[in-house]
Structure formats: structure tokens, C-alpha cells
Amino acid sequence: MDFPRYGDWSPTQFDSNIDIDRQDWLVMPVMQTRDSGPLDQSNFACFLEALGGESETVEVHRFGHWGPGWFEIIIIDPDDVAAQSVAYDCARALQDYPVLNDEDLSRRESEDERESWSTWAYKDFSRECEKELQYQADEFFGEPADPQQRWCKNWGMDIDVCGCGDCIETVDEWMADLVSKLDSLDTDKLYTLAKEFCGMEVEHHNDGPYFKYKIDLQGLIDGLEAIQVAGPAR
């Protein structure tokens, strides 16, 4: 295996080489772009770390690009024999197995997962849960609530004796109560609901995590009852 000389290298066949006065330096087989996910970021960082980070003979260069916005490469001085030997070891390892450091990758993946969850994925999940509760409310509108749920949400008494006027008696009232419980959950609690009560599994792709869950009524009821609802009761 040979590393290409920087002077012979360009990011795609549609690009020309940008002269940075490093024509003889060697281009490492890892690259990251603005759009890189955890796998590329991890391999890039671990490759660089193995080379001892940036130095007189190891440089990271970032270029603007019409495709992914920017990309970064690592180049090394061909006179640094020790760095070249480390680079060959890493490159060979990557040929055998696509991850340089599993521990580093899984740490980045779980950060990416929590970040994606708390910025956008929780909204999809919450919307799906609400859809399921709304469906039940419409389908069984006015029908008596589950016999096991026929105790007052306010006072914990049997609704036949409570008489507070706000007892939950019908499926739609019950579902509305569950929706308001759902709405009061923060993103962490929604994560717990998804993971522990809706069987959520997360697949990691280079373009981001993919959240898979199965929402059913019983899971939602169990979860919403079990998870401590933040703040005072309605």
C-alpha cells in the first residue's frame, strides 16, 4: 500500500489539486467533512492521535468544497519515517476492520444519539404517542374508561364515591389525561419512555442515528404511569 503524494491528490475527480507548498507530503486514508458522522470523525481523530497529533511533520488541512461545504485531510512529511510507519499500521488496520477504535466510536455514537434525540427525534416520538392516544380517544369516545382506571385522578378514590366533578369516567377523558402527562415529560423522560416502554432501538449510520420504536397503548399507559411526571399535577 502506498499513500498518494499530496501533489497528485484531489478530493474528487471533479476537483483539481490546490497548491499548499506540500506537494511531496503523503495523504492519509481518512477524511472528514462537514457532513461526517461518528464513524468518519472517530477514525479521523484516532488516526491523528496515533500520529501524535499535529506537529512539524503532521498537518491537518481544511478546504472549502462545493459539495460537503468543507473537508479535512491529514498529510505527513515523507521524511518522517516513524510517522509513516505508524500510518501504515493504521491504514492496514482500517483495511481489515472499518473502525480504528471501537470505544471511541461508541462514545461518539451515544453522544450523537442523545444530541439527535434532544434536538429533533423526541418530537417525532412524542407526536406518534399522541397520535396513538388520540386514535383511542376518537375510537372509544364516551365509552367507560378501563375498569382499572375508574378511580379518581384527583383523589385516588373510586369515581362512584368521589364526586369531585373532575373524575375520569370515559376513555376520551382518560386519553386526554395521558396526553397531558405526555406533554409534561422533558426530553430525558421521553427517552426513558421510548427505551423502556416502547422497545426503542437505535441504529447508527454515517448520516446520523435512526430511531426505531413500537408504540402501543399498553406500553404508553404503563410508561406514563411509571415515569414520575415533572411539576405539579394539573
**Is 164 one of the binding residues for Zn ion (CB under 5 A)?**
yes
User: Would you state the cell numbers that stand for residue 186, as one nine-digit string?
Assistant: 422533558
List Cβ<8 Å contacts ≥24 apart for 163-168: none
Q: How far is the CB of 152 from Zn ion (least distance, A)?
A: 3
170 forms part of the interface with Zn ion (CB under 5 A): no
Q: Is 145 in the site for Zn ion (CB under 5 A)?
A: no
Pick one of 94, 162, 217, 229: the residue that binds Zn ion (CB under 5 A): 162
| Among the residue ranges 31-39, 103-111, 159-167, 199-207, the one whose residues contact Zn ion (CB under 5 A) | 159-167
Cα separation, 45 vs 86, whole angstroms: 14
Least Cβ distance, residue 149 to Zn ion (angstroms): 12
Out of 73, 167, 178, 220, the residue judged to bind Zn ion by CB under 5 A: 167
Cell of 40: 468518519
Nearest by Cα to 166 from 185, 151, 152, 156: 152
The answer to whether the beta carbons of residues 174 and 143 sit under 8 Å apart is no
Is there binding between residue 152 and Zn ion (CB under 5 A)?
yes
Please provide the size of the chain in residues. Answer: 234
Q: Which is nearer to Zn ion, 65 or 150 (CB)?
A: 150
Going by C-beta distance under 8 Å and a sequence separation of 6 or more, which residues neighbour residue 120? Answer: none
Could you list the residues that contact Zn ion (CB under 5 A)?
A: 152, 154, 162, 164, 167
